A and B are shown apart, each in its own frame.
Chain A
Amino acid sequence: MSVFPKGDFYTRHFQPSGKEETLVVNMGPQHPSTHGVLRIIVELDGEYILRCEPVLGYVHRMHEKMGENRSWVQYWPNTGRVDYLHALAWNWAYAGAVEKLAGIEVPERAEYIRVITCELNRVSSHLLWWGAYLLDLGAFTPIMYAFDDREEIMDMLQMPTGSRLTYCYYRFGGVSADLSDEFLKRLSRFIPYLRSRLPMYRDLVTENVILRKRVEDVGHIDEDMCRRYGCTGPVVRGAGVAYDVRKAEPYSVYDRFDFRIPTYPEADAFARYMVRMDEIEESLKIIEQAIATIPDGPYLSKSAPKPKWSAPKGEACFAVEGARGKITYYVASDGGRTPYRVKLRSPSYCNLSCFAEAAKGVILADAVSILGSLDLVIPEIDR
């Protein structure tokens, strides 16, 4: 069978314990359901997965080193490119870490703007995930409906940020542009619209018996496993743990809003699916409250750093709840022009690390289902 007996570095390390009657296949780096260039070496016994090992690094960009050789302000565009689907959360994590380090005050309006835009971005990320997950499961149409709604979000986010995907919108001490009244009006029109779409999503997909059979009782990742692997976000909430950084380490003005942390105790792919679907509604609820109570004022602090600013020495950590889980920025500064060390804790990376254990013994199709339910963004894993 094997035409290329040698294999590459990782395959050679993977193979020795393989049995005769099993099949070692490479899922990826170019595979439709790995959402980018992720490679998973899988040992198959028939359709069952005996063991598997993810191989990363195909889109590694060394963001951490780039942080060390460009100035504090110049690092901004990098933050939007780590996780292109929820770029504003990464923006926020960097802003938060440096603001904590330097003690920069953020005006109240800026905090509200951050909440609105970040939550809107979360909705768009979840919508895309929903479509892409259904694509993994073989349904082609939902992603088009999701894109239809997401398009409106992107148009709206373009109004203040000017970009559509890799936002670079937040600044130390605020944001780079104010929200226009037109944006707020359009947003308040959009929220009821999206709410009216959600029942359609539910009837088309969530209630669909084929989908239910595909995701229920698949890919158990329970609380203990989450702890050992450091899984966060919808994965841990799908395991019944109400862990959300917005509540656990309240940052910004999240403590002023009334929202629920959706949890499902089943710990399977369907629980994670439902957590995300509920989160869309919760995010809409937060946005609604934020629009109603957004104060007037400056959108950028007067003490906001100038371009050639350097942070004072020290170290700071800041965590943000991204669409995929807990995003943590750790910055250490020696008072120099550039950060001394930037460490990015990306949620997808930790969530994926449990895949090898979760996918042991399942059917190949279930592995795809599990992989999709983790909601991976490969550039965030590889950084």
Chain B
Amino acid sequence: MSGRNLSFPKLCALGGDMGQMGIAEIHHVRPSQVRGAASLLLDRGWFIETIACLDLREGILVNYFYAHFTEPGRIVVRTLVQREEPEVPSIADIFQGAEWHEREAAEMSGVRFPGNPNPLPLLLSEDEESHPLQKAFEDRKPISNIVDEFIKAECWPAFISREEIEAEAEKRAEEAAAAKAAADAPAAPKAAKAAKEAEA
């Protein structure tokens, strides 16, 4: 996997093992660097496989999968976008095939791709407003729950500060607990009654 020397601007390149996880290289970039990576990869003869978004506690992780017709391996260019402003510049003018991948990612995960020539819904109905692949808050996991090493990497803090997320999570958890307690209090006798009925 060495000797490829893809030197596009990036935060860091870390992880990836073709044998272990089927991904040769993982490059972390800022959203603004996605286009640079794409054009460099196109010059080197890579083609786009797909775009996959992960909805995480830290934000939405947008993964661009690239593969090559003659070289083995798979390169993932990933970037993290904040949920408040989920925008990644479109690469549809570099890889035309990415237009559909972006449209799919946009409607499924709620990431916006400014510059996409045809930003219509692709698979869902045109009046669908929700993003099905966005998870509920309590289902969202921090990236450390999936891959540890990204947290250890120095590039991760560039995306997001860890404390912020934890603080928000704690706050949410407290709120949820309070709400639950409030809801449980009157519901408790009811629940007992229901259980009795079920037994009978």
* B-binding residues in A (CB < 8 A): 9-10, 13, 53, 56-57, 60, 62, 64-65, 68, 97, 100-101, 223, 226-231, 236, 241, 243, 248-249, 313-319, 326, 328, 330, 332-335, 340-341, 343, 345, 349-350, 353-354, 357, 382-383
Contacts and interface: CB of A to CB of B under 8 A. Distances in A.
Interface string B124-161: 11100000110100000100011100000000000000
B126 A65 contact: no
B80 interface: no
B147 to A, nearest CB: 6
A10 B120 contact: yes
Interface string B66-96: 0101101110000000000000000000111
Interface stretch (B19-27, B174-182, B185-193): B19-27
Given A57-B123, A330-B65, A62 B132 contact: yes
Interface of B: 18, 20-23, 42, 45-50, 52, 54-55, 63, 65, 67, 69-70, 72-74, 94-97, 99-100, 108, 118, 120-126, 132-133, 135, 141, 145-147
Q: Name the prevailing secondary structure of the A interface residues.
A: mixed
A314 B65 CA distance: 17
Contacts of A341: 52, 54-55, 133
Nearest to B148: A313
Contacts of A343: 50, 52
A57 B125 contact: yes
Contacts of A328: 49-50, 65
Contact of A314 (B21, B42, B69): B21
Given A9-B126, A316-B21, A326-B49, A332 B146 contact: yes
18 contacts: A10-B126, A101-B21, A227-B42, A228-B47, A228-B96, A231-B97, A243-B69, A249-B73, A314-B21, A315-B147, A316-B20, A316-B21, A317-B23, A317-B65, A334-B145, A340-B145, A350-B97, A382-B123
